[in-house]
Structures are given as C-alpha cells and as structure tokens.
C-alpha cells in the first residue's frame, strides 16, 4: 500500500498530523475522531426510536436512475433508506447503491474541510484552510484569469449530478468543453435524424420494447447501466420479443437475453455494414419509406460528392426549402426539387447531364457496399455468416424491430462515428423511425432521461454578461493548445476520469494557472486541485427545500434529510459565496426555494406548468408531470429538424474524409494485425458496474464486500501467462501501467481484458487505470458534431504477474 492509501480525508499522514495539530479546534469532527458508519451505526443505535424524522431526496442520476428516496433519520443519523412513493409504482426503485448511503454519506473518503494544496499537483498533500480563505482564494484566482486571458479561459466541468445552478454562467467559462465522452456513436448517428442531444438517444423509450418482435441489443449492458428500466426488458421477453445481445462478453444483460452473440470488439460498424449488404442483396429494405422519408433519392454530383441543390448556395445556411435538394422525378423524367408538388423520386438512379454524372444517394450507397459482402463482415466481426444471415433476416423481416446500443463499448473506439452512422442507416433501411409501435433505434440506456419523461425547467435569469462560452471549434480535447484553457474548475472526475493517458494529462495540468475542485469525496482528481471545496451529498441541506428535477415523468424535489456533515456546504451555498465575491451577489436567488418557485412559476413546458411547490411538499417531493404519454415516441409524423426535414443519411461535410456514407475504418490501435500486438496482444476495455457510478461509490465499504477492483481475463489468456484468480497482475503498455488483482472468467472474450472504469488509484495496487488508455484524436475530430471521442477502449496492453 502506498502512503496515500493510509491517508485520511486526503491528507497524507504527515500533513494530516500537522494540520490536525495546528487546528484541532476548527477541525471539529474531522480533526478529532473520524466518524464512519461502523461508529454511527452500532446496532442498538439503529433501532433507537427517539427523535425520528423523515426526509426525501433524489439519488444520483448518472447511473441513469435518479431514484427518489424516503430516508429515516434517528437521533440525527440516517438509519433507513427506502424507495419513496410514486404515482407510477414502477418507479419505486432503489438498489444497493441507494441503500448503502446509510454508510456512504459518512465515508472516510468524504472531504470534510476546505483544503489548500501544499505539495506538487497530484501529490495529495494538503492543509486545511477556513471557508473564507478558500472562497477568497478561488474568487481572486477567477478574477486573475478573467483579466489575464478572458472568461473563456476557464473550463467548468460540472458533474452530471451537481446541484450547482448558475456557476458555469457566472464564471462565463467553457462548460463541458469538448469532453469527447459518450458522443462517439452519436457523432455518426444523431445528424441523420437531428437528435438534439447528439448522443444518439433513442427514438422511443424502453417501455416500447414489449411491442417489438426482434431487438438487437448491441454493446449495452442495460441491466446494470440503467437498472430502473429492467422491468421493461423483462416485460418485452414475456411478451415474446426476442432480445439478441451482441457483445464481446457474456455480460449480465447477455445472460438474461434470449440469445447472446459474441463479437470482436471495435467492429460494430462491420456488423452493420454486413447486415446492410444482406438487406440490399435480398431487397429487404423498405423502398417506399426510403423514397418518402429519407435523403436516399437525393442526387449527388459524382465529381465532388456534393449534394445537388436547386441553385448555388449564396450562404452556407441556404439549404432546405430555400434551396432544395434535387431528385430525379419518375413522372416527368426530369430533375426536380425534392419538395416540388407531385414528384415521384427515383431511389436507385444515375444520370448524365452535360457530361456530368449524378447519382442518387441510394445508388452511391449500394456501390460503396460492394466492398462489404457478408464474408468480409464475418471475418471482421468474428460472427459467422450463418448467424449474420439469421439475425439480419429477423431484424429486417420479423419486425417491428429495435436496434439498441450503449455508450460503453463501441462508443469508445476511434471509429465510433462510423458505427453510429452505419447504425442509423441500417435502422432507416427497415423503416424504423417515426413508424409503428415497437420500432426504433439508438441508445435506450438513457433515452428516458434525455428525450422523454424530462420536463424543461427554466434557468434563473442572470445579467446579460453571464453566459457560458463555447469551446473553440478547432479544439477537440480540453488538453490541446487550441482550447485556450488556463483554469480548471471541476465537480466531476475531470482529471483522472474524463481524460485518457494520465501521463499526458498530468503534464497538461502542470501548465494550468489555477485548479479548483468542488467535490463530495476525495477522488483521485481532487489531488490535482489547488483549492478543494467540500460539498454536501444529495442527502444534506442547510435549508428545508433543495433543488428540483423533472425526470422519469415526474417533478422531483430534494428536501432536507441531514444537516451538512462535517464542514461541507451545499453546491448552492458555495455558488452564492463565489457569486458575492465576484460582484453578482444580488443577481442570484437567495435560496433554493426562491429558485424552485421561479422554475415552477415560469415554466414554459406544458408538462411542468401548474405544478406548485406546495403540491410537491404535500406529495413528499414527487408529482407526476402533466399529460405524459403511456410510451413516449419521437419523430411521430416523420418530423425531423434536419436540413431537408427528412432523414439525412448522406453527410456532405464528411466527403473529404471519405465518410459521407459509412465506410469501414479500423480502430486506431486495437485492430487485428496491428504490429503493436506483438508486444501488447490484448485489447483492454473498461466497463461499468451496478455497484458504482463511475468514480462515485467506489469508496462505499458496504459495496466493497461485493466488488473488488480487478482485471478480468479469459482462462485461455490466463493459462498462457501462468495466471490464476487472485494473483496481482500488472497491466502495461507504452503509455504506462497499473496493477491489481486478477479474476479469471469465461465471461470475458479471449484476447481481451476488462476492468471496471472509475476505480480510484488507492484501491488499486499501483498506478491508475487511465495510465494505459488511448487518447488519440483522429483527424476527422473537428468535422464531427461533438468533436473527437476519447477512444478509451481502443487500447492494447499486456498483462503479467506483478
Ligand atoms: N450502475 C451504473 N450505471 C451507469 C453508469 C455507471 O457508472 N454505473 N454510467 C452511465 C454512463 S455515463 C454510461 S456512458 C452508460 C454506459 O452504458 P453501457 O453502454 O451499457 O456501458 P458498459 O457496461 O460499459 O458497456 C456495455 C457493453 O459493451 C460491451 N462492449 C465492449 N466493447 C464492445 C464492442 O466493441 N462492441 C460491442 N458490441 N460491445 C462492446 C461490454 O462488454 C459491455 O457489456 O452507463 C450509464 N449507467
Ligand atoms: N478509462 C475510461 N474512462 C472513462 C470511461 C471509460 O469507459 N473508460 N467512461 C467515461 C464516461 S462514459 C463518463 S460519462 C465519465 C464519467 O465520469 P464523471 O463525469 O467524472 O462522473 P460523474 O458521475 O459526473 O461523477 C464525478 C463526481 O461527481 C461527484 N458528485 C456527485 N454529485 C455531486 C454534487 O451534487 N455536487 C458536486 N459538486 N459533485 C458531485 C461525485 O462525487 C463524483 O466523484 O467517465 C469517463 N471515463
Ligand atoms: Mo458516460
């Protein structure tokens, strides 16, 4: 164990002693006794019933669940956590993570006091400071960066779960600047249907699975990564749907599916391309749908790959109705605007006019597909031709069918946008979007949060000058020199969680002027901060009313369960204190309650209108949003916010990259035949687990009974390396290494090794998971809607006994 492993509250043993010696009085609880669950929860105490009260709050939402919880507090301690009552009983959910909060809120890894760094960035050496000193230092640091470089030089990285409201806008910072996370597939999938989140969130919610006959679940372990949707998964099975999970590994969801088909990692695009070849060959596509609802009949100039428009565009924005795309009209046998009255566009055509050749998108697509016959796809993916034929026929001919993908597998390869693009074309070929019940495509794992069952709450109005900056278009990575970032203010795992290749990240951090962490727990990223501001968990409030969310079809209110523990303060309080110091004290709400009332009174979303705070309090924090449909669906009536208003499958902006239509591209590192495999033969991927929310809950001792940080590996690979379960192994490549225990299991595909992402360094034997992960930025990055994806899984390693 390293020195850091023995530290408490993030102070190394030496600095901790120094700090506590210097300021025992001010430290209070933190300095004298560390209060852990064992001490808080002696059995006799748990059953004492004096002074019992109930509080209601929502749990974290980054596990896609956002459970609303009823919490019993006895003698000032949280003693029981249960699902709250909801109008919709299916929403009454809780898992081990929620239950564990009885212990986890009092974790030894809670940040208890404001800290100032005294060692090198990353050393984890801090001393305790007062809140005033911390806040003054942060405000001065912000003002210095503002005046030296401008507001956009600050990167603000909020956590998905933060309860800050106005901080990003007050800072004027780049908010979540091109993180390159969860947008890999979306980069290719979303433009076609103009899916607004850019993550490929599905067209319909998972409640619709019961209406499908065939569901291809490709690389999504939804039973662990969106546990609250599990009832809808099993409902679908019971209704007779066939759920086919295509995943390199025998994950939990594969085990519960009708069928599991293993696939070579990073080859999802090849799977889709091969399936499309079969669909073309057998004419299983929906021709009328393609002509009516998609850009497939639009004409492309073969000379330069541009889409033909009515006249040369006078401005880049001149598209759609003002300058329509052209089609070949079968009635008049002439070229016509796609939206002209009475046109009957040809789908599969090529014409020559004045020596120039124009082909329909569909014709080009078919031509390009000659390179991807089924034999080719079988070889790339490792799925046999026979199986490919069988699932393609089911998908195309035994509908309605659904294509579901996740964010964890194929999303984290350099070629993810190609997979996403191929997925949307495939789903369109069989007429998935805007159609009947039980048809759809995309990431169902968070669809219900991102697109459906989510009411829009208005922002608190701030002065004109308070607005977030956008990241420079040329910058694809917060660490690149084009980002212009000089200061980092994070509430997520910005450093060790949201960047790959730790050595490079650490070098970058060293170049920054100022780093602030506002966190509940002492995660590894916190070690790089200059000032650390300890935040309350979602269970703690210094006022009765907390923040409001509108998710899972309900308005959800946070109310006080506990007073702030230790010296921690709410995100709201911290934001207020910083705003005051920056001269915006009068511009922000005085309390969460004032904010919540404003949000409810000024809601423009019909789903939220009319709901009152009184009603929410009366209902213990849960009120159904207005008029929520049984099953929410998008694109009803074939409405798309694309340039043509139809499904635009041809990406003109990617012509120069050869990706106007999805074209196979190997992963950048973990491809078959990479010579690097001589030294690093194993593909390394990182998965999620029901036990953690990324780097959150890793320190929960109740959960640690069930999950041990480990490298998972197939017996075949273990045997050739002389490894057995329980051995300490080192995972290594040219970027770095880490070590921990290994577990040998048949659930992991031979040739690959897996780890659960988010595990803190101190719970490993040595190093950091992120030391080995791939941070390559592909050339196409700046041309993609959300910039390049971090190819975390596109990583080769070797594993040896440590
Ligand atoms: N409990 C919990 N739930 C979570 C989260 C959490 O931290 N904890 N995080 C949330 C977030 S932010 C995200 S992004 C989602 C991710 O949700 P998922 O996409 O479900 O995430 P993973 O479990 O990482 O990966 C899914 C599956 O992809 C497989 N896989 C790996 N490589 C490939 C490949 O190349 N092709 C195919 N077809 N499959 C592959 C893996 O074996 C794994 O079973 O989960 C969300 N839900
Ligand atoms: N190697 C590798 N790295 C990965 C991935 C991978 O597959 N492999 N997956 C990536 C993915 S998909 C994602 S989404 C990211 C997720 O990584 P993050 O975005 O870092 O995860 P978060 O869930 O936002 O949690 C970050 C922190 O937010 C804190 N937090 C929770 N609630 C609050 C709050 O109310 N206020 C404040 N101030 N803080 C709070 C938690 O304590 C937690 O430590 O990780 C990415 N990193
Ligand atoms: Mo994610």
pLDDT tens digits, 129-162:
999 999 999 999 999 999 999 999 999 999 999 9
Question: 205 and 632 in contact (C-beta within 8 Å)?
Answer: yes
Pairing of strands 545-551, 736-744: unpaired
Is the pLDDT score of 32 beyond 50? no
Percentage with pLDDT > 90 across the chain? 85
Question: 217 and 446 in contact (C-beta within 8 Å)?
Answer: no
Please list the residues that pair with 490 across neighbouring strands: 157, 517
Task: Report the nearest-CA residue for atom 10 of ligand 1.
Answer: 63
**pLDDT band at 412, cuts 50/70/90?**
very high
Half-sphere exposure of 225 (CA within 13 A, CB side): 23
Where on the phi/psi map is residue 627: left (φ > 0), alpha (ψ -120 to 50), or beta?
A: left
pLDDT of residue 34: 47
More confident residue, 38 or 222: 222
Task: Report the nearest-CA residue for atom 47 of ligand 1.
Answer: 225
Q: What's the gap in Å between 740 CA and the centre of ligand 3?
A: 24
Q: What's the gap in Å between 64 CA and the centre of ligand 2?
A: 12
Question: 753 and 372 in contact (C-beta within 8 Å)?
Answer: no
Half-sphere exposure of 723 (CA within 13 A, CB side): 29
Question: 174 and 152 in contact (C-beta within 8 Å)?
Answer: yes
Query: Which residues have a Cβ under 8 Å from the Cβ of 223 and sit 6 or more positions away?
Result: 230, 233, 252, 253, 256
pLDDT of residue 312: 79
pLDDT of residue 320: 66
pLDDT of residue 314: 74
How far apart are alpha carbons 178 and 171 in whole angstroms? 18
Q: Please state the rounded mean pLDDT for residues 245-258.
A: 98
Please tell me whether residues 259 and 283 are part of one structural domain.
yes
Is residue 688 in some structural domain? yes
User: Which ligand has the minimum distance to the alpha carbon of residue 105?
Assistant: 2
**pLDDT band at 18, cuts 50/70/90?**
very low
More confident residue, 631 or 14: 631
Is residue 2 in some structural domain? no
**pLDDT band at 316, cuts 50/70/90?**
low
Q: Please state the rounded mean pLDDT for residues 621-637.
A: 90
Is residue 26 in some structural domain? no
Determine the distance from the C-alpha atom of residue 589 to the mean position of all C-alpha atoms in its chain, rounded to a whole number: 30
Is residue 67 in some structural domain? no
Ligand 2 pocket: which of 183, 224, 449, 498 to mutate (most atoms within 8 A of CB): 498
Question: 9 and 112 in contact (C-beta within 8 Å)?
Answer: yes
Atom of ligand 2 nearest to the CA of 695: 44
3-state percent breakdown (helix, strand, coil) of the chain, nearest 5: 30, 20, 50
Please tell me whether residues 162 and 137 are part of one structural domain.
yes
pLDDT of residue 6: 35
What is the four-CA torsion angle of 646, 647, 650, 653, rounded to 10 degrees? 80
Please tell me whether residues 203 and 300 are part of one structural domain.
yes
User: Tell me, what DSSP letter sits at residue 11?
Assistant: B
Range of weakest confidence among 23-32, 143-152, 293-302? 23-32
Residue among 497, 539, 540, 500 nearest 517 (CA) = 497
Is residue 408 in some structural domain? yes
Please tell me whether residues 579 and 444 are part of one structural domain.
no
Please tell me whether residues 417 and 512 are part of one structural domain.
no
pLDDT of residue 60: 95
pLDDT of residue 453: 64
Please tell me whether residues 369 and 512 are part of one structural domain.
no
pLDDT digits (tens, 9 = 90+) for 549-598: 999 889 999 999 999 999 999 999 999 999 999 999 999 999 999 999 99
CATH of residue 746: 2.40.40.20
pLDDT of residue 191: 97
pLDDT of residue 454: 75
How far apart are alpha carbons 70 and 53 in whole angstroms? 10
Question: 68 and 84 in contact (C-beta within 8 Å)?
Answer: yes
- Lining residues, ligand 2, CB within 6 Å: 62, 159-163, 181-182, 407-408, 412, 491-493, 497-498, 518-521, 523, 535, 538, 571, 686, 693-696, 757, 769-770, 773, 792
Q: What's the gap in Å between 749 CA and the centre of ligand 2?
A: 27
Range of weakest confidence among 145-154, 256-265, 778-787? 778-787
How far apart are alpha carbons 188 and 421 in whole angstroms? 4
Determine the distance from the C-alpha atom of residue 256 to the mean position of all C-alpha atoms in its chain, rounded to a whole number: 24
How far apart are alpha carbons 265 and 287 in whole angstroms? 32
Q: Give 231: exposed, middle or buried? Use CB within 10 Å, 0-12, 13-18, 19+.
A: middle
pTM for this predicted structure = 0.94
Task: Report the nearest-CA residue for atom 37 of ligand 2.
Answer: 162
- Domain enclosing residue 739, as ranges: 675-801
pLDDT of residue 27: 36
CATH of residue 580: 3.40.50.740
pLDDT of residue 410: 96
Residue among 382, 297, 299 nearest 346 (CA) = 297
CATH of residue 653: 3.40.228.10
Please tell me whether residues 200 and 161 are part of one structural domain.
no
pLDDT of residue 511: 97
pLDDT of residue 1: 32
- Lining residues, ligand 1, CB within 6 Å: 62-64, 182, 218-222, 224-226, 246-249, 251, 263, 265-266, 268, 406-410, 445, 685, 687-688, 690, 692-694, 793
How far apart are alpha carbons 553 and 454 in whole angstroms? 6
Q: Please state the rounded mean pLDDT for residues 672-696.
A: 97
A 10 A CB-CB count for 341 gives: 6
Please tell me whether residues 122 and 241 are part of one structural domain.
no
Is residue 669 in some structural domain? no
Residue among 268, 279, 273 nearest 245 (CA) = 268
Residue 396 DSSP SS3: helix
pLDDT of residue 71: 98
User: Which ligand has the minimum distance to the alpha carbon of residue 492?
Assistant: 2
Please tell me whether residues 429 and 575 are part of one structural domain.
no
Range of weakest confidence among 202-211, 316-325, 326-335, 383-392? 316-325
Give Cα separations from 496 to 87, 194, 618, 771 (angstroms).
Answer: 40, 32, 42, 9
Please list the residues that pair with 710 across neighbouring strands: 741
Is residue 666 in some structural domain? no
Is the pLDDT score of 515 beyond 50? yes
pLDDT digits (tens, 9 = 90+) for 205-242: 899 999 999 999 999 999 999 999 999 999 999 999 99
**pLDDT band at 328, cuts 50/70/90?**
very high
Is the pLDDT score of 435 beyond 90? no
Q: What's the gap in Å between 580 CA and the centre of ligand 3?
A: 33
Is residue 767 in some structural domain? yes
Last residue of one domain, picked from the residues 631, 657, 683: 657
More confident residue, 19 or 715: 715
Please tell me whether residues 361 and 283 are part of one structural domain.
yes
User: Which ligand has the minimum distance to the alpha carbon of residue 575?
Assistant: 2
Last residue of one domain, picked from the residues 657, 689, 717: 657
pLDDT digits (tens, 9 = 90+) for 368-395: 999 999 999 999 999 999 999 999 999 9
Question: 297 and 650 in contact (C-beta within 8 Å)?
Answer: no
Last residue of one domain, picked from the residues 657, 689, 708: 657
The rounded mean pLDDT for the chain is 92
Half-sphere exposure of 390 (CA within 13 A, CB side): 9
Is the pLDDT score of 678 beyond 70? yes
Please tell me whether residues 521 and 380 are part of one structural domain.
no
What angle do the packed helices 184-193 and 416-429 form, to 10 degrees? Answer: 40
Task: Report the nearest-CA residue for atom 16 of ligand 2.
Answer: 694
- Per the structure, the count of domains in the chain is 3
Which residue's entry shows tokens 């070098």?
A: 507
Q: What's the gap in Å between 520 CA and the centre of ligand 2?
A: 12
Please tell me whether residues 147 and 198 are part of one structural domain.
no
Question: 263 and 329 in contact (C-beta within 8 Å)?
Answer: no
């Amino acid at each position: 164990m390293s020195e850091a492993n023995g530290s408490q509250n993030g102070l190394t043993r030496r600095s901790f002693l120094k700090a506590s010696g210097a300021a025992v009085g001010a430290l209070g609880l933190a300095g004298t006794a560390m209060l852990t669950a064992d001490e808080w929860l002696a059995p006799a105490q748990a059953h004492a019933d004096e002074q019992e009260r109930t509080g209601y709050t929502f749990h974290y939402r980054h596990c896609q669940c956002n459970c609303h919880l009823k919490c019993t507090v006895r003698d000032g301690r949280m003693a029981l956590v249960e699902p709250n009552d909801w109008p919709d009983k299916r929403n009454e959910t809780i898992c081990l993570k929620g239950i564990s909060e009885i212990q986890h809120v009092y974790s030894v890894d809670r940040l208890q006091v404001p800290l100032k760094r005294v060692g090198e960035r990353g050393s984890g050496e801090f001393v305790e400071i007062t809140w005033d000193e911390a806040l003054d230092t942060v405000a001065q640091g912000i003002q210095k960066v503002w005046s030296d470089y401008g507001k956009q030089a600050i990167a603000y990285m909020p956590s998905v779960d933060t309860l800050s409201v106005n901080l990003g806008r007050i800072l004027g910072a780049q908010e979540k600047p091109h993180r390159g996370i969860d947008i890999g597939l979306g980069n290719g999938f979303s433009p076609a249907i103009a899916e607004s989140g850019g993550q490929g969130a599905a067209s319909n919610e998972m409640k619709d699975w019961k209406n499908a006959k065939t569901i291809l679940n490709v690389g999504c372990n939804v039973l662990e990564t969106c546990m609250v949707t599990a009832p809808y998964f099993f409902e679908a099975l019971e209704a007779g749907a066939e759920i086919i999970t295509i995943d390199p590994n025998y994950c939990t969801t594969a085990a519960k599916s009708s069928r599991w088909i293993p696939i070579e990692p990073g080859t999802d695009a090849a799977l889709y391309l091969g399936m499309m070849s079969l669909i073309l060959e057998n004419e299983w596509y929906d021709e009328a749908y393609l002509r009516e609802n998609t850009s497939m009949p639009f004409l492309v100039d073969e000379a330069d790959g541009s889409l033909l428009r009515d006249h040369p565009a006078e401005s880049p924005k001149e598209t759609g109705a003002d300058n329509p795309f052209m089609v070949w009209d079968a009635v008049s046998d002439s070229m016509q605007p796609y939206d002209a009255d009475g046109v009957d566009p040809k789908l599969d055509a090529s014409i020559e006019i004045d020596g120039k050749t124009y082909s329909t998108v569909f014709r080009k697509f078919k031509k390009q597909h000659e390179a991807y016959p089924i034999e080719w796809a079988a070889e790339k993916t490792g799925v046999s031709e026979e199986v490919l034929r069988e699932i393609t026929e089911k998908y195309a001919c035994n509908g309605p069918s659904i294509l579901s993908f996740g964010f964890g597998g194929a999303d984290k390869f350099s070629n993810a946008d190609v997979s996403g693009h191929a997925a949307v074309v495939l789903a369109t070929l069989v007429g998935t979007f805007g159609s009947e019940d039980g048809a759809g495509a995309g990431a169902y794992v968070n669809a219900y949060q991102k697109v459906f069952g989510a009411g829009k709450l208005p922002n608190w109005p701030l002065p004109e000058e308070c607005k977030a900056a956008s990241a420079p278009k040329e910058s694809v990575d917060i660490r690149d020199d084009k980002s212009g970032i000089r200061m980092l203010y994070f509430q997520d795992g910005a450093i060790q969680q949201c960047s790959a290749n730790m050595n490079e990240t650490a070098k970058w951090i060293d170049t920054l002027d100022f780093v602030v962490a506002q966190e509940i727990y002492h995660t590894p990223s916190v070690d790089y901060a200059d000032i650390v501001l300890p935040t309350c968990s979602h269970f703690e409030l210094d006022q009765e009313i907390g923040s409001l969310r509108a998710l899972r079809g309900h308005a959800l209110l946070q109310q006080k369960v506990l007073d702030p523990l230790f010296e921690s303060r709410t995100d709201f309080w911290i934001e207020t204190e910083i705003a005051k110091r920056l001269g915006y004290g009068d511009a922000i709400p005085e309390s969460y309650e004032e904010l919540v009332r404003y949000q409810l009174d000024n809601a423009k979303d019909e789903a939220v209108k009319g709901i009152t705070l009184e009603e929410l309090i009366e209902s213990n924090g849960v009120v159904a949003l207005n008029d929520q449909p049984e099953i929410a669906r998008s694109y009803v009536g074939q409405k798309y916010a694309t340039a043509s208003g139809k499904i635009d499958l041809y990406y003109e902006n990617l012509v120069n990259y050869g990706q106007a239509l999805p074209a196979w591209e190997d992963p950048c590192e973990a491809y078959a035949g990479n010579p690097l495999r001589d030294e690093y033969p194993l593909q390394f991927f990182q998965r999620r687990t029901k036990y953690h929310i990324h780097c959150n809950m890793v320190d929960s001792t109740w959960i640690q009974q069930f999950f041990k940080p480990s490298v998972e590996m197939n017996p075949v690979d273990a045997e050739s390396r002389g490894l057995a379960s329980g051995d300490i192994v080192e995972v290594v490549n040219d970027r770095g290494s880490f070590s921990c225990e290994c577990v040998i299991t048949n659930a992991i595909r031979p040739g690959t090794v897996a780890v659960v992402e988010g595990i803190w360094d101190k719970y490993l034997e040595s190093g950091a998971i992120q030391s080995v992960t791939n941070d390559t930025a592909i050339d196409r990055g700046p041309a993609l809607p959300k910039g390049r994806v971090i190819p975390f899984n596109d990583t080769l390693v070797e594993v040896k006994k440590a």
